[in-house]
A and B are shown apart, each in its own frame.
Chain A
Amino acid sequence: MEEIKLIRDGRRLDNRKFDELRKLSAELNLNKEAAGSAMFSMGNTIAVSTVYGPMEIFPKFLEEKDKAILEVNYNMLPFSTDERTRPKFSRRSIEISSVIKRVLENVIFLEDLPRTKILINIDILSADASTRCAAINASSMALALAGIPMKDLVASCSVGKIENTLVLDIAGKEDTEGEVDLPVAYLPLTDEILLLQMDGILKKEEFEKLLELAKKGCMQIYEFQKKTLLDFKSNLKYE
């Protein structure tokens, strides 16, 4: 089998620079029935997040007296990948749900809404690497729209290493053929890292460089999220 070259003349497969994000776009309030919903896409990766609640908890023994509980369901739709995925919850989707839940628990003021539940459903419409990052970005915008008290918007993006080069925003072939994939979720206000997963092997200096690169990418996404939210209300014209 012929080996695929991921880097040609200082450019990547999709003609991006090493520290360049894919094209970002977002749509807000898709679902009128939900408290808040948002679609976030990075290139060919599209995630839709819908937030319901805060609402009563059933069964009652799950509720906590002093804080709200979060329920996150991450699922990839059957048509999201090249080959059909089974629509039921897999081992992978359960893991990613719990990872996203742990990220969002750090951002929401859960103690403001005691004895309630916040339900977040995330659907991946199209998967092209770093789906969990798109899911976190979509969820943080949907939570803001739903009027849930939050510390800040979370931004997330992935960094990695392909052919001994450190790159921002892994996409497509780079995910499967590359050496390292490292998704990061970042809270700009307190300079905290809320998500850090890695597969592959890295040197210490490379890791530190990658983290800096990830923070830079997250800040770009954070500014984009803010701009989208502000435009959504400011462009409102009255007849």
Chain B
Amino acid sequence: MEEEKEGYIVVTPGTLLATSEKSGDGTYILNRKTYSKYFGVLKKVGYKISVIPFKQSYKPKKGEIIIGKIVEFNYPFFIVNIESPYPGYLFLGDISTYPIKQEQLMKIYKPGTWIYSKVLEITDKIKLSMKFRESRILRNGRIAYITPSKVPRVIGRGGSMIEMIQRKTKCTVLIGQNGVIWINGNKTELVLKIIQKIDKEAHISGLTDRISKLIDEELKNGRN
């Protein structure tokens, strides 16, 4: 059983999607038929059928940029909470190309510090790196959370959504693929409201227009 409404189809686990074997995320094959794995929204691109779940825990992939929180130091690495079932590990050698003493690093990377970093590689541990250009320590600002499967909607096609939010609210917004968002600026409350709206309505089409309208209204009212 499936329901169609304004261009999106909601499916439950076990819904028959195709009577042949099709590839895609969030589906599985049983007796040469394709079924849904999640409770989510159906998406068809070419020959691929995939289901985007409404809620999902983050599964790290190599090369993704994420935002995490330092939990503790345990020689020779920092343990980082990356909002995933598995913790991230930031090794001392992956922090900087310059030689910095361990004591100094421990002063900078205190427990509770938010970092903008990259997944270097996944072995039995998830290794993070701070050596790439955009990586930084996030001071001030505030943190918001969103389901990892909805991160592409916050960024928008070719970065259109995030670019519009930043331009209109004049806030700096950094997005981690793990669903953690860092906001800095004068109108953090407004950005938080927008992100909550996206989290709630990501599967309904015409999102960018509605968000743009919301920002204009809020700015006109001058509440934020």
Contacts and interface: CB of A to CB of B under 8 A. Distances in A.
Nearest to B40: A147
Interface string B17-56: 0000000001010100001011110000000000001111
B12 A147 contact: no
B101 interface: no
A238 interface: yes
A109 interface: yes
Given A56-B86, A147-B53, A229-B39, A236 B12 contact: no
A226 B2 CA distance: 9
Interface string A142-169: 0011110111110000000000000000
Overall SS of chain B's interface = loop
Contact of B38 (A53, A149, A223): A149
Interface in B71-120: 85-87
Given A150-B37, A189-B30, A226-B1, A55 B56 contact: no
20 contacts: A35-B55, A109-B37, A115-B86, A116-B85, A147-B57, A147-B147, A147-B149, A151-B13, A151-B14, A151-B37, A189-B14, A223-B1, A225-B12, A226-B12, A230-B3, A230-B12, A233-B10, A233-B54, A236-B204, A238-B210
B163 interface: no
A26 B74 CA distance: 47
Contacts of B86: 56, 115-116
B200 interface: yes
B56 A153 contact: no
B216 interface: no
Chain B CB count within 10 A is highest, among A36, A113, A147, A233, for A147
B42 to A, nearest CB: 12
Nearest to A190: B30
Contacts of B56: 147
Interface of A: 35-36, 53-56, 109, 113, 115-116, 144-147, 149-153, 188-190, 223, 225-227, 229-230, 233-234, 236, 238
B190 to A, nearest CB: 15
A230 B85 contact: no
- Most B-side CB within 10 Å, residue of A54, A55, A152, A225: A152
A185 B64 CA distance: 41
Contacts of B14: 150-153, 188-189
Interface of B: 1-3, 5, 10, 12-14, 26, 28, 30, 35, 37-40, 53-57, 85-87, 147, 149, 200-201, 203-204, 210
A145 B56 CA distance: 9
Given A236-B200, A238-B204, A146 B13 contact: no
Contact of A147 (B55, B85, B87): B55
Given A146-B55, A150-B14, A236-B200, A56 B87 contact: yes
Nearest to A140: B13
A238 B201 contact: yes
Contacts of B39: 144-145, 147, 229
Given A230-B3, A238-B210, A150 B13 contact: yes
Given A55-B85, A116-B85, A147 B38 contact: yes
Nearest to B55: A147
A147 to B, nearest CB: 4
Report the 3 A-B pairs with minimum CB-CB distance, sorted nearest first. A152-B14, A147-B55, A150-B13
**For B2, B57, B147, which residue has the most chain A Cβ atoms within 10 angstroms?**
B57
A184 to B, nearest CB: 18
Nearest to B207: A238
